[in-house]
Amino acid sequence: MGLTRRFESHDVFRTTRNLFRASQAMQFDWVGPACILCLSLIGVAFIYSAHAFTGGDFWIKQLVWIVLGAGVYGVVSMIDYRFYMRNALWFYFAGLFLLLLIFTPLGLTREGATRWLNFVVLAYQPSEAAKVCTLIMVSTILATTRIGKISDSVRVLAIVFGLAGLPMFLIFLQPDLGSCLIIPPMVLALLYVSKLSIRFFLVGFALVVCMASILAFDLYSYAHALEKSGLSAQEFRGEYQSKSLVPLRDYQRERIMTFAAPEVVDPSGTGAAWNAIQAESAVGSGGLFGRGYANGQQARLGYLPRTVAHNDFIFAVFAEEQGFLGGMLVVGLFGVLLANGVRIAGQARDRFGMLLCVGVTVIFLIHVFVNIGMTIGLTPITGLPLPFVSYGGSFILSCCILQGIVQSVHRHHRLYE
């Protein structure tokens, strides 16, 4: 007995025992990875289908990005999520640095927007990294501040809004309105679960109503000026934005008006409203069971432009070929993935882990709702991709990092019980 006690008191034994207990606590969650795998395979299959008659190799590139993303997911999930809190400021500065590089010769311009960094072998979109870094920084501030102080202190709220506003401003300058609008719902959700005073949200709601009223008046003035000019929406681009105090580009106004009043900006249905009309036609023509794999007509005949069929409008391609039941399968997979994020947030033993999971879940929810919504006429066309399904290397890596953080919270939360 004495020998046993002396052995158990030895440092090596205690270290081994603690490592064993830690490994027992770090159980792997298989629900999230299973959904991610299914969605990724669906994405590869229908990216191929979208270009089956043109010979595009986008599906091969997507497969490579998924493999790389799987490795990133594994590494991130192995790291204790509290590491991100200890180094939140460095991550935040790194995100801002990448956004600032956009305005250097490394910035790559495509279709009038400078949203990518040209690293010769690949083009990276820094707004994806900025979303992750902003989530970590805001979660850290809210997790390290007592709830009472959050609800009472304007200073803390000012810090949160300042930290979120700076990357939003830099993303807006690219311009990338879609990615810019991901951050506010995420921050509001984090503030909500931090149990702020209801008066704060009432004031926030009043500000949103005020901003919406200003935007509505601006759009009305734009429509009136467009009609008065006698020009088409494309010919009119640049004329109104130089006179308006609202910092929007005319093509962004077109997208919003295409959703709200398409007859104003595109009465013939052949210009700004074309993509929306063809996406709705593709979804509607799928029926209950769809036309069959690689038999979609909208993308095959080019009515759904091939430049967007494999990314922004991949759900329209899928819904046409697999029908309503196939579309519900994708929605169901996202529903399980989102519910799993909420479940892991509820299991977290500290506020930082809970805030991270809530933030990730909200980011994915906005992407899914807006992307699917714009293919069926529920939301304006903003260019937000569908997680793990749409084509895009930067976006795949960002999604894998975010879900890897959720996995990290699940694997390490028992260490803080």
Q: What is the mean pLDDT of residues 39-64?
A: 85
pLDDT interval class at 20 (50, 70, 90): very low
User: How many H-runs (helices) and E-runs (strands) does the chain carry?
Assistant: 21, 3
Give 9's contacts (C-beta < 8 A, 6+ positions apart).
none
- DSSP states of 51-110: TTTTT--HHHHHHHHHHHHHHHHHHHHHS-THHHHHTHHHHHHHHHHHHHHTTSTTEEEE
Max CA pair span of the chain: 97
Q: For the chain, how are helix, strand and coil distributed in percent, rounded to 5?
A: 70, 5, 25
98 vs 65, 178, 186, CA distance in Å?
A: 20, 18, 21
**Taking the CB of residue 212, how many other CB atoms lie within 10 A of it?**
10
Q: What is the pLDDT of residue 368?
A: 94
What tens digit of pLDDT does each residue of 67-77 get? 999 999 999 99
What tens digit of pLDDT does each residue of 236-252 get? 777 787 778 777 777 77
- The pTM assigned to this predicted structure is 0.84
What tens digit of pLDDT does each residue of 389-400 get? 998 888 999 999
Q: What is the mean pLDDT of residues 67-88?
A: 92
pLDDT interval class at 19 (50, 70, 90): very low
Q: What is the mean pLDDT of residues 362-371?
A: 94
B/e letters for 261-289, b = 16+ CB within 10 Å, e = fewer, are ebebbbeeeebbbbbbbbbbbbbebbeee
H or E, element range at 316 = helix 314-347
d(CA 333, CA 330): 5
For residue 333, which phi and psi values (nearest 5 degrees)? -65, -40
The Cα angle at residue 339 between residues 360 and 332, in degrees rounded to 5: 110
8 A C-beta contact, residue 70 and residue 400: yes
Distance of CA 322 to the CA centre of its chain: 25
Q: Which amino acid is at 128?
A: E
Q: List the single range of 60-64, 195-199, 215-219 with lowest mean pLDDT.
A: 195-199
pLDDT interval class at 22 (50, 70, 90): very low
SS3 9: coil
Tokens linked to 163: 């930290």
The C-alpha R_g of the chain, in whole angstroms, comes to 24
**18 pLDDT more than 50:** no
